[in-house]
Structure 1
C-alpha cells in the first residue's frame, strides 16, 4: 500500500512566544481531522529573542510531528521561508503565519484543490477589514505599481499563504538569488494555479513585526526585483524635461532677438536648477537601488545560516 502524501506547514517565527501554543492547538485540531494525508509542522525560528525557541521545544514534547530549524540570527521572513522550502519533506507545502490571521481552516480546501491537479493554490484576501486603513491603501497601491512596472504580475491580495506542490518547491529551491522577494518568485516559476478566497482575521496575540519603514523597503525590494521599468521610466522623464528645456530656450531666444525682451530670471532659474537637480537625484537613487542589488548578489552569500535542526 502506498503511504499517504506528506504536507509540510512552513511556519516562520520571530518573537511569537505568546501565539505559538494557540496556533498549534487550533491548527493541529484541523489537520488531524484530514483524511489520507500526513502533516509535519516545520517551524523556522528566525533569531527570536523572547523565548520562542524554548516554547517550541516544550511543545515538541506534546506534538511529535514538529520539526524546528533554528537560524543563527534574524535573517528576515523571506530568508526564513526559503529555509523552510529547502527543508520541507512533503509532496506539498503551505507557508503560513503563526499569528492566525490566515485561517488554518483553509488548509483542507487548498489540499482538495491540489488533489484536483493544481500545483499552486493561492489564498486571496477578499476582506482585509482587520488591517488598518493605511495598510489596506498602501497594499492596494503596491500591487498596482508592482504589476505595472514588473515583468511578471503577482496576484492581488495574495500573501505567502498558499499551497505549493513538490515541482514548484524544487523550482524555487533551484534559484540562486540571495535578495528574495518570495511573492514574485512564486509567480515567476509558473505552474498550474488556482485561487481560493478568505477573510483575513485579526492577530490571535502579540504584535506585528512589520512597521512602516520595513514595509516601504519590502515594497522597493518587490518593485526592483522583477523588472527594469523604473530605470526606463527615468529615461522618458529625462527626455521630457530636455524637450521642455529646449522649447523654453527657443521661446527665450525669440523674445530676445525679435521682441527685444530681456529675460528676468533669478527666481525662474533657481526653480529650474532645483527641479532638475531633484529629478537627477531621484534618478540616481533608482539607479542606486539596482546597483546595490547587483553588489549584494555578487557577494553570493547564503540566504540563511542554520544554527541547529531539531527533528
Structure 2
C-alpha cells in the first residue's frame, strides 16, 4: 500500500538535511519502494525551500512544495495532500521529534488491521506536558473520545482527509473530527525526541487561548452543523419562555396591582417575535442541511 508522508516545514533550514537523510536511510533499511515524502515549505523566510530542493534532486520519492506565505500548518497539510498519491497519509513534522520507524508502525497497523486512523501518543519526557494534558483532557471531554493524545504523530487512510472539514489551525482536531464522522480510530505509543536544531514554532501563552477558542469553535460547528434546529430552536423557545414570563408579570401588575407599564408589552412582543423567527430560521437551516447532505 502506497504511503505519503506530509511534512510541513516553517523555517526548518537546519532540520531539512536531517529529515531527508533519515527518510532515505529509513526507506533503504526497510526496503520500501512505495513511500514518498512531501515537504511543504509554509512560507519560510530562511532557506528551507532551497535546501529541500537541493537535497532532493534526482529523487522521484521526495517532492517539495512551497506556499507563497505563512498560511499555517493546516493549510500546509492540505497543500501537501493535493500532491500526495498514497492510500495512507502520515502527518510528520519536519523537526524530527518523531521517528520514521514509528510512522512505519502506524502505517502497518492501518494496513494490517484496517483502522481508518491511528494516533500516536507521546511517551517519555517532553516540554509543555501540563498544557498538553489540559488540552487533551478537554478534547476528550468535549468530543467523548478516548484517544490520549490529539496532536502527536498520526496516520490515516486517504478517505479521512478527503471527508473531514479542515479550517485554519484545525490540524489539532483531525482526530475529534474524524471521530465525529464515524471513522475507526485507535492509538499506539510513539517516542518523542528532542529537536535536532532550531526552536519550536508553537510557543507563547496566546497559543493556549487560540487553541481553546478553536476547540470551542470545532465543538460548536460539529454539534450544530448537522442539527441547526437544535441551536435556533433552543434559543427560540427560550425567548418564547422569557416573553411568556414577562407577559405574565405584566398581567399580574395590571390586574392585581392596577399598575400598567407599557414597555413590558413591547418586551413581550420583542421576545415572542424573536423566538418565532429563530425557530423558523432553524427549520430553514434544517432544509438547507438536508439539501446539502443529499447533494453529496
TM-score band, normalised by shorter chain: 0.5 to 0.7
Structure 2 CA distance for aligned equivalents of residues 61 and 11 of structure 1: 17
Greater relative contact order, per chain length (Cα 8 Å cut-off, separation 6+): 1
Shift of 1:49: 0.4
Structure with the largest fraction of helix: 2
In the alignment, is residue 58 of structure 1 matched against residue 51 of structure 2? Answer: no
1:123 is matched with 120
Structure 1 CA distance for aligned equivalents of residues 168 and 15 of structure 2: 29
Structure 2 CA distance for aligned equivalents of residues 178 and 111 of structure 1: 25
Conserved? CA contact 2:7–2:93, under 8 Å:
yes
2:284 is matched with none
Q: 2:153 aligns with which of 156, 161, 183?
A: 161
Structure 1 CA distance for aligned equivalents of residues 186 and 79 of structure 2: 25
Cα 1:36–1:201 shift into 2, 3 Å: closer
Shift of 1:63: 3.5
3-state SS of paired residue (1:159)? coil
Q: Which moved more, 1:113-122 or 1:11-20?
A: 113-122
2:40 is matched with 44
In the alignment, is residue 188 of structure 1 matched against residue 177 of structure 2? Answer: yes
Q: Deviations over 1:203-235 (max 9, x none)?
A: 111111112123431232123322389xx9xx9
1:248 is matched with none
Shift of 1:97: 0.6
Q: 1:113 aligns with which of 109, 115, 123?
A: 109
**Structure 1 stretches of 4+ moved >6 Å:** none
Conserved? CA contact 2:92–2:98, under 8 Å:
yes
Shift of 1:108: 2.1
1:78 is matched with 74
Conserved? CA contact 1:160–1:182, under 8 Å:
no
1:217 is matched with 210
Conserved? CA contact 1:152–1:184, under 8 Å:
no
TM-score normalised by structure 1 residue count? 0.64
1:249 is matched with none
Shift of 1:194: 2.0
Matches within 5 A, 1:1-311: 5-35=1-31, 37-61=33-57, 63-116=59-112, 117-127=114-124, 129-131=125-127, 135-148=128-141, 150-151=142-143, 153=145, 155-172=147-164, 175=165, 178-189=167-178, 190-212=182-204, 213-227=206-220
Conserved? CA contact 2:147–2:186, under 8 Å:
no
Structure 2 CA distance for aligned equivalents of residues 157 and 186 of structure 1: 9
3-state SS of paired residue (1:209)? coil
Structure 2 CA distance for aligned equivalents of residues 137 and 160 of structure 1: 15
1:252 is matched with none
Shift of 1:61: 1.3
Shift of 1:159: 1.6
Cα 1:204–1:154 shift into 2, 3 Å: farther
Q: What is the RMSD computed on CA atoms of the aligned residues?
A: 2.4
